[in-house]
Amino acid sequence: MAELSYPSDRRALSAGDLVLDEARWTVHRAGRQVDLSPTEFRLLAYLMRHQGQVISRAQLLENVWGWNRSGQSQIVETYVSYLRRKLDTLGPRLIHTRRGVGYLLRPAEASHVPEGTYVPEGTYAPEGTYAPEGPRAAEALRPDAGQHRDEPIRLS
Protein backbone atom coordinates (compact mmCIF):
# COMPACT_ATOMS: atom_id res chain seq x y z
CA MET A 1 0.00 0.00 0.00
CA ALA A 2 1.42 3.41 -0.96
CA GLU A 3 1.90 6.01 1.75
CA LEU A 4 -0.46 8.96 1.45
CA SER A 5 1.05 12.43 1.50
CA TYR A 6 -0.64 15.68 2.40
CA PRO A 7 0.61 19.23 1.98
CA SER A 8 2.31 20.56 5.11
CA ASP A 9 0.34 23.80 4.97
CA ARG A 10 -3.10 22.46 5.83
CA ARG A 11 -5.42 25.33 5.01
CA ALA A 12 -8.92 26.04 3.80
CA LEU A 13 -9.54 25.13 0.16
CA SER A 14 -12.38 26.72 -1.79
CA ALA A 15 -14.21 26.16 -5.05
CA GLY A 16 -17.13 28.53 -5.61
CA ASP A 17 -19.40 28.25 -2.57
CA LEU A 18 -17.63 25.10 -1.32
CA VAL A 19 -15.06 25.48 1.48
CA LEU A 20 -13.01 22.62 2.91
CA ASP A 21 -10.94 23.38 6.02
CA GLU A 22 -8.30 20.68 6.43
CA ALA A 23 -7.13 21.92 9.84
CA ARG A 24 -10.64 21.79 11.32
CA TRP A 25 -11.78 18.81 9.17
CA THR A 26 -14.94 20.68 8.09
CA VAL A 27 -16.74 21.23 4.79
CA HIS A 28 -19.30 23.97 4.05
CA ARG A 29 -21.38 24.42 0.92
CA ALA A 30 -23.48 27.57 0.47
CA GLY A 31 -22.76 28.40 4.13
CA ARG A 32 -24.12 25.06 5.41
CA GLN A 33 -21.96 22.41 7.04
CA VAL A 34 -21.71 19.12 5.14
CA ASP A 35 -20.92 15.96 7.10
CA LEU A 36 -18.49 13.69 5.26
CA SER A 37 -16.86 10.38 6.10
CA PRO A 38 -13.04 10.42 6.32
CA THR A 39 -12.76 8.86 2.83
CA GLU A 40 -15.22 11.35 1.32
CA PHE A 41 -13.26 14.18 2.96
CA ARG A 42 -9.92 12.95 1.55
CA LEU A 43 -11.44 12.48 -1.92
CA LEU A 44 -12.98 15.95 -1.92
CA ALA A 45 -9.74 17.52 -0.63
CA TYR A 46 -7.75 15.86 -3.42
CA LEU A 47 -10.20 17.01 -6.08
CA MET A 48 -10.19 20.55 -4.64
CA ARG A 49 -6.38 20.69 -4.61
CA HIS A 50 -6.49 19.79 -8.31
CA GLN A 51 -9.62 21.70 -9.34
CA GLY A 52 -9.88 22.40 -13.02
CA GLN A 53 -7.80 19.29 -13.83
CA VAL A 54 -9.18 15.94 -14.99
CA ILE A 55 -8.03 13.35 -12.45
CA SER A 56 -8.02 9.69 -13.49
CA ARG A 57 -9.51 6.92 -11.38
CA ALA A 58 -6.03 5.43 -11.06
CA GLN A 59 -4.69 8.74 -9.68
CA LEU A 60 -7.54 8.86 -7.16
CA LEU A 61 -6.99 5.23 -6.11
CA GLU A 62 -3.30 5.90 -5.55
CA ASN A 63 -3.57 9.31 -3.86
CA VAL A 64 -6.78 8.96 -1.83
CA TRP A 65 -6.84 5.22 -1.05
CA GLY A 66 -3.11 4.51 -1.36
CA TRP A 67 -3.64 1.70 -3.88
CA ASN A 68 -1.16 1.22 -6.73
CA ARG A 69 -3.53 -0.74 -8.97
CA SER A 70 -6.46 0.46 -11.04
CA GLY A 71 -8.62 -2.68 -10.83
CA GLN A 72 -10.86 -1.21 -8.12
CA SER A 73 -12.23 1.85 -9.95
CA GLN A 74 -15.77 0.99 -8.81
CA ILE A 75 -14.93 2.27 -5.34
CA VAL A 76 -14.01 5.65 -6.84
CA GLU A 77 -17.35 5.85 -8.66
CA THR A 78 -19.17 4.88 -5.46
CA TYR A 79 -17.50 7.60 -3.37
CA VAL A 80 -17.94 10.24 -6.07
CA SER A 81 -21.66 9.44 -6.06
CA TYR A 82 -21.73 9.80 -2.25
CA LEU A 83 -20.09 13.22 -2.55
CA ARG A 84 -22.47 14.31 -5.29
CA ARG A 85 -25.50 13.31 -3.20
CA LYS A 86 -24.26 15.41 -0.30
CA LEU A 87 -22.99 18.44 -2.25
CA ASP A 88 -25.39 18.73 -5.19
CA THR A 89 -28.45 19.18 -2.97
CA LEU A 90 -26.96 22.51 -1.85
CA GLY A 91 -26.10 23.96 -5.26
CA PRO A 92 -25.03 23.26 -8.83
CA ARG A 93 -22.92 20.20 -9.61
CA LEU A 94 -19.23 20.65 -8.88
CA ILE A 95 -17.82 17.20 -9.69
CA HIS A 96 -18.00 16.36 -13.38
CA THR A 97 -17.30 13.04 -15.08
CA ARG A 98 -15.07 12.78 -18.14
CA ARG A 99 -16.11 9.40 -19.51
CA GLY A 100 -13.27 6.97 -19.89
CA VAL A 101 -10.85 9.43 -18.27
CA GLY A 102 -11.80 10.47 -14.74
CA TYR A 103 -13.28 13.34 -12.75
CA LEU A 104 -13.01 17.10 -12.66
CA LEU A 105 -13.97 19.52 -9.89
CA ARG A 106 -15.07 22.82 -11.36
CA PRO A 107 -16.71 25.65 -9.37
CA ALA A 108 -20.28 26.48 -10.31
CA GLU A 109 -19.51 29.96 -11.63
CA ALA A 110 -17.09 28.38 -14.10
CA SER A 111 -19.91 26.05 -15.11
CA HIS A 112 -22.24 28.84 -16.25
CA VAL A 113 -23.29 28.39 -19.85
CA PRO A 114 -25.33 30.91 -21.85
CA GLU A 115 -28.94 29.82 -22.33
CA GLY A 116 -29.49 27.76 -25.48
CA THR A 117 -25.94 26.36 -25.52
CA TYR A 118 -25.46 22.61 -25.83
CA VAL A 119 -24.19 21.16 -22.54
CA PRO A 120 -22.72 17.60 -22.69
CA GLU A 121 -24.23 14.95 -20.46
CA GLY A 122 -22.79 14.89 -16.96
CA THR A 123 -22.26 18.65 -16.68
CA TYR A 124 -24.31 21.28 -14.90
CA ALA A 125 -26.97 22.86 -17.10
CA PRO A 126 -28.53 26.06 -15.73
CA GLU A 127 -32.32 26.03 -15.38
CA GLY A 128 -33.88 26.29 -18.82
CA THR A 129 -30.74 25.26 -20.72
CA TYR A 130 -31.19 22.42 -23.20
CA ALA A 131 -28.89 19.49 -22.49
CA PRO A 132 -29.67 16.43 -24.67
CA GLU A 133 -28.40 13.07 -23.48
CA GLY A 134 -27.78 9.62 -24.87
CA PRO A 135 -26.13 8.13 -27.94
CA ARG A 136 -28.37 10.02 -30.39
CA ALA A 137 -28.12 13.41 -28.66
CA ALA A 138 -26.42 14.98 -31.68
CA GLU A 139 -29.61 14.49 -33.71
CA ALA A 140 -31.46 16.67 -31.22
CA LEU A 141 -29.17 19.57 -32.13
CA ARG A 142 -30.54 19.84 -35.68
CA PRO A 143 -32.13 23.26 -36.33
CA ASP A 144 -35.44 21.61 -37.27
CA ALA A 145 -35.56 19.35 -34.18
CA GLY A 146 -38.61 20.29 -32.09
CA GLN A 147 -41.05 22.96 -33.12
CA HIS A 148 -41.24 24.89 -29.86
CA ARG A 149 -38.85 25.23 -26.96
CA ASP A 150 -41.35 23.56 -24.60
CA GLU A 151 -42.09 20.66 -26.96
CA PRO A 152 -40.02 17.51 -26.31
CA ILE A 153 -37.80 16.30 -29.12
CA ARG A 154 -38.43 12.68 -30.07
CA LEU A 155 -35.47 10.49 -30.92
CA SER A 156 -37.15 7.26 -31.98
12-111: which CATH number, 1.10.10.10, 2.70.150.10, 3.40.50.620, 2.40.170.20? 1.10.10.10
User: Which is more confident, 124 or 46?
Assistant: 46
pLDDT for 10 equals 61
21-30, 61-70, 74-83, 146-155: the lowest-pLDDT one: 146-155
pLDDT for 107 equals 85
Q: What is the mean pLDDT of residues 41-46?
A: 97
Could you tell me the pTM of the whole model?
0.64
Q: Considering Cα of 25, then 23, then 80, then 129, what sign does the dihedral take?
A: positive
Q: What is the mean pLDDT of residues 104-115?
A: 64
